[in-house]
Amino acid sequence: MRAPGLRTLAIAAAATLTAGYALAFFYAPLEQEGFIQKIFYLHVPLAVVALLGFVVAAIHSIRHLRSGDPKHDARSYVSIHMSVIFGTGALLTGALWAKGQWGVWWEWREPTLVSFLIIFLLYATYYPLRYAIEDRDRQARYASVFAITAGAFVPLNFLAVRLAEPFIHPRTFSSAGGLPGEMLLAFLVCLAGMTMLWATLVRFELGAKGASGDLRRLRRAISSELPPPSAPRIAPARVSAIQAPGSSPGGKGPSGGSGRAGALERAEDPGPAGGR
């Protein structure tokens, strides 16, 4: 089955997100929290898609170590890059929600918040680790091992949060506190749209990196086919005019010719020592 094109995926993501947030604002009922609760439809999809993107990166890293194909390393890199961006959005929207709902920007006693921050900071070290290695092959291998190891923490983090007692953060996927039907529908549509947005951005960045690599290879090929530049030509030194005593520059010498010509003739005459 052929994957949809980038334009098709982008249009589908835009349409799904538009429908999802239309449902969130005009169909889903307001909770006791008030209008600030609407940020839930942005915050939670961002966090869920970011965590799923980390798992996708780990899968690509496994495929890279097994096959050695650099395309899997590129997909893992871009997946982590996009998931870190989505994770940043989740942290910012979560802080806004916490300030509006609980009066604090952050609560260190809440396991959901702290565990997500730990995962986010773990993946934030991916870039310094990768670019600290100069050799490209070793860089790709070590980055894949890191992505696999860090990816294993994502499901463990999800299970630990589910087992821990909530402090103030609600549990979205919980049998005890499930969402009403209207809210669940709006949430699922927003989650689907956010997932398609993530996939669109990943496809776009992969295409941009591929085009940049092709351009670099084309430039190297063109530069290797060009002839080497020729050595610069050095102009021959001018012969200094030897002026006869008493002759003026540009004036006529004793022989009736110009001073310069007469001086050159006398310079070329070997004189008595060179005579016959």
Task: Report the share of the chain in percent with pLDDT over 90.
Answer: 37
Q: Residue 142: pLDDT above 60?
A: yes
- pLDDT tens for 115-134 read 889 999 999 999 898 989 88
- In the predicted model, what is the mean pLDDT of residues 93-102? 84
pLDDT value, residue 236: 54
88 — pLDDT class (breaks 50, 70, 90): very high
Measured in degrees and rounded to the nearest 5, phi and psi for residue 5 equal: -70, 170
Task: Report the share of the chain in percent with pLDDT over 70.
Answer: 74
- pLDDT tens for 65-80 read 999 888 999 999 999 9
- Residue 262 CB-half CA count within 13 A: 17
- In the predicted model, what is the mean pLDDT of residues 136-155? 91
pLDDT value, residue 269: 47
pLDDT value, residue 251: 46
Residue 111 and residue 164 in contact, taking contact as beta carbons nearer than 8 Å: yes
Cα–Cα distance for residue pair 52/210, rounded to 1 Å? 24
- In the predicted model, what is the mean pLDDT of residues 106-117? 82
- In the predicted model, what is the mean pLDDT of residues 158-168? 66
Measured in degrees and rounded to the nearest 5, phi and psi for residue 228 equal: -65, 145
- pLDDT tens for 53-62 read 999 999 999 9
Summary mean pLDDT of the chain: 79
pLDDT value, residue 82: 95
Least confident range of 12-16, 40-44, 165-169, 255-259: 255-259
Instruction: Kindly list the distances between the CA atom of residue 54 and the CA atoms of 63, 141, 229, in Å, as whole numbers in the listed order.
Output: 15, 17, 50
Least confident range of 43-57, 74-88, 117-131, 241-255: 241-255
Amino acid at 117: L
- In the predicted model, what is the mean pLDDT of residues 249-261? 46
With helix as H, strand as E and coil as C, how does 44-56 read? HHHHHHHHHHHHH
Q: Residue 50: pLDDT above 60?
A: yes
- In the predicted model, what is the mean pLDDT of residues 11-40? 86
Q: Residue 163: pLDDT above 60?
A: yes
